[in-house]
Amino acid sequence: MPSIIKLEQALMAWGTPEFPDVLKRELVQSGVSQLPLQQGLSTGNYVADEPITVVINKVVEMDDVIRVTAGIFFRSVIGGCSCADDPTPASDIDEYCELQLDINRMSAATTVSLLKDG
């Protein structure tokens, strides 16, 4: 299920060379809980509450929205008992997924969806 966030600073930067950096910064500031990263896990059970890294893969200007495909590097953890003899490693796991962001050109309301083939 898509989530909705506001990317006002990115919308204001649209059409300038600063747009990619402003968008990345705003996504990082929104935090892992605002993005559908849990659905994008490939190895771990839970998204770690750590900073993400954003890569802008594609930007397409449409009539009503600015559609962005963004690669998100983040970390996950595997839930376990954390006992001394637990064979599960106690470290974070590197993860990657791709998100589609549809930034409304009037309101900055942004629909964020996980791309299944990312």
pTM to 2 decimal places: 0.87
Lowest average pLDDT, out of 20-34, 49-63, 67-81, goes to 67-81
Q: Number of folded domains in the chain?
A: 1
**Averaged over 21-40, what is the pLDDT?**
95
Using one digit for the tens of pLDDT, what is the confidence trace for 68-89?
Answer: 999 999 999 987 655 666 665 5
For 71, the domain range is: 3-115
DSSP state of 85: T
- Residue type for 59, please? V
Res. 50: pLDDT tops 70:
yes
Tell me 116's DSSP state. T
Q: Considering only 50-54, 75-79, 93-97, 108-112, which range has the smallest mean pLDDT?
A: 75-79
The whole-angstrom separation of Cα 36 and Cα 31 is 11
Residue of 24, 10, 20 lying closest to 105 (CA atoms): 10
Residue 16 CA: distances (Å) to CA of 20, 61, 100: 9, 13, 21
